[in-house]
Amino acid sequence: MTALFPHFRALQVEIDPTVTINAIVGGSGPPLLLLHGHPQTHAIWHRVAPRLAEHFTVVACDLRGYGESSKPQGAPDHANYSKRAMAADMVAVMQSLGFATFRVLAHDRGARVAHRLAQDHPQAVERMALLDIAPTLAMYEQTSDTFARAYWHWFFLIQPAPLPERLIEADPAAYVRDVMGKRSAGLAPFDPRALAEYQRCLALPGAAHGICEDYRAAATIDLEHDRVDRDAGRRLALPLMVLWGEQGVVGRCFDPLKEWQRVAADVQGGALPCGHYIAEEAPDMLLERVLPFLVQG
């Protein structure tokens, strides 16, 4: 990974005896946490991290269950892969570096972790930008035929173990190619080194189980947590930017800005002319939008 992040240092943070989070750190200035999506790792940020590091101390992590982070056996209720647990991982990582408060830029699954992070730890997150998601609860409650066909993996990965794990483990590289390559831009946007890293990491022991548990939690305990917040009228108060790909599924099946305005008080954003993998498909446009927002405050 040093080839993709030549001026960053590697870091391992032990959260508890069962979980260690893998991260890289680089740059200087206010702390900025970067969180990736599925089926990827922190490598998604290789095209934007150097520019961000000119303004921030950038910390890019692998979520638990992904990359080189730990992949514990899922609990019966999937609580140890809940976004609450994964968000607590990130608070611990940042605190280990001496950062009590920080900003967040997150994509896909990482953006779901970031949503919970800001909800559970509002004192820690100063502002955040989320890429190509609507809130999890809204997406499940508004699932349509079009969405289910495009996001088939949402419903495949939540099947009881070990069925999806066994099928992924039969050919992890093919799973990465099929999930990522069937999006609007195909595989063309991805640096071969990054793509190889995603494939390598999904083949690691426990990785298939880890990603399945992430999605199983999202379809169960995460929805419970989100409903509690909704019923209590709890909304995010921090400045929030949401961006999505105009060629992607989220903008086609949902109204991202409207859905985030339901759960947050200070929301701005819009679509970018790309697909789902914004940081790799449109890094310059992404930086043009998020840098002015993130450097505020």
Which residues, 6+ apart, have CB-to-CB distance to 128 below 8 Å?
A: 103, 104, 105, 106, 114, 118, 238, 239, 240, 241
36, 42, 46, 276: the catalytic one is: 276
Residue 284 bears catalytic tag: no
CA-based nearest residue to 42, from 59, 17, 20: 59
Contact (Cβ atoms closer than 8 angstroms) between residue 277 and residue 186: no
42, 46, 89, 108: the catalytic one is: 108
Contact (Cβ atoms closer than 8 angstroms) between residue 64 and residue 85: yes
Assigned token pair, 151: 């996001």
Query: How many helices and strands (H and E) does the chain possess?
Result: 15, 8
Treating both helix axes as pointing N-terminal to C-terminal, what angle do 221-232 and 207-218 enclose, rounded to 10 degrees? 30
Q: What CA–CA distance (Å, rounded) separates 179 from 262? A: 30
Residue 89 bears catalytic tag: no
Q: What CA–CA distance (Å, rounded) separates 132 from 249? A: 9
Active site positions, annotated: 108, 276
